[in-house]
Amino acid sequence: MPKTSLIIATRESPLALAQANWVKMELLRHFKDLKIELLGMTTSADKMLDIPLMTVGGKGLFVKELEEALLDGRADIAVHSMKDVPLQLPNKLHLPVICERADARDVWVSNDYPTMQSLARGGVVGTSSLRRQSQLATLRPDLKIVNLRGNVNTRLAHLDEGKFSAIILAAAGLDRLGLATRIKDYFSYTDMLPAAGQGALGIECRKEDIETLALIQKLNDVETHQCVSAERAVCRTLGGGCQSPLAVFAEMMGDEIYLRGLLADLDGETVLHAEETGTDPESLGLAVANDLISQGAKEILHAIYRS
C-alpha cells in the first residue's frame, strides 16, 4: 500500500525550515493527499555558534541529530543543504535525491559598499568559510577578514549593528528566505568558486525504506545530481571539505560536466587550480583531485590541519 504520511527532519533555523518547507510543497505538488509533518531539531552545530567549525569537527555536526532521527524511526527523510552533508554517511542511510540546484554563487552584502572594490583598505568583512576567506584574501589582501557564524538572520544583524563593513553569504540562502534585496553584488565563479554542493538540497533516507524512496524520487534532478556527485568526489579524494579552503563547482556543458576545483592556503598566497570535462562524475572528480594533488594540495591540507 502506498505511503500516506511522511515526517521530515530539519534543523530549526529559518533557512533550514524554508528548505524543508520547499521540499514539503514540492512533494505535495506530486502527491496532494500525502500528509507531511516537520520534525524541527537543534543540532550540535547550532549549540556552538561562537566556535569555528574547524575546531569542533566540521559541518557533519549540522546533520548528526537529523540522521539519528532517521535511524531510530522518528523521521522518514531529512533535508540538507548539500554543502553541509558529510562525505561518509551512516551505513543504513543514503542520499538518493538531490533537487534542482538554485543559484550557487556567493554574494556581497553591505549597507554602505555596493561592491567589494568600493570598500576602502582595512575594511572588515565577515565570513565563517575558510574557502571564502582564502579567495577574498587573494582578491583583496588589504581587507580585514573576521570569522562570522550564526544563521543568516544573525549574520545580517551583526552587519546592521555595524560590526562589519560587509559580509559574504550564499545567494541561494538569501533567495530562499526572501532576502534577495539584501544582495549588493554577485561574485563570478571566476572570482569566488563555490563550495561543493552549494545551492543544492539533498534528501536523505533509510536505504530499506523503498516506499519513501518512491515518493521523493520525483524531486531528483539528474543534472544537479551528476554535478554535485562530481564535486563531492573531489572532496572525498582530497579528504577536504569545510575544514579547508577547498572550492569545487560543476556545471553541465551540453552532454558533458565541466568541473573546476580550487585549493588555497589560508592567506590566499598560494592558489591551486584544476579543471576537467567528462561524463562520469566519479572519474571526473578523481581527475581534478589528482591534478590538485600533483600541484601540492596534500601539503597545503597538512599545513592547515596542523595549524
- Tens digit of pLDDT for each residue in 85-111? 999 999 999 999 999 999 999 999 999
Instruction: Specify the amino acid at residue 203.
Output: I
Start-end ranges of CATH 3.40.190.10 in the chain?
5-99+200-220, 106-186
CATH superfamily of the domain spanning 233-306: Porphobilinogen deaminase, C-terminal domain (3.30.160.40)
Query: Which cell numbers in the block locate residue 304?
Result: 592547515
CATH of domain 106-186: 3.40.190.10
Cα–Cα dist 273/248, whole Å: 10
For residue 180, pLDDT beyond 60:
yes
- pLDDT band at 61; cut points 50, 70, 90: low
Cα–Cα dist 165/141, whole Å: 15
CATH of domain 5-99+200-220: 3.40.190.10
DSSP result, 92-128: TEEEEEEPPP----EEEE-SS-SSGGGSPTT-EEE-S
Cα–Cα dist 36/6, whole Å: 5
Q: Can you give the pLDDT at residue 56?
A: 45
Q: Which of 76, 84, 103, 265 is catalytic?
A: 84
As a whole number, mean pLDDT of residues 253-264 equals 96
**Cα separation values, 150 from 47, 110, 264, 302, Å:** 10, 17, 24, 28
Q: What is the pTM of this model?
A: 0.91
Q: Is 142 a catalytic residue?
A: no
pLDDT in tens, 189-236: 999 999 999 999 999 999 999 999 999 999 999 999 999 999 999 999
Instruction: Specify the amino acid at residue 37.
Output: E
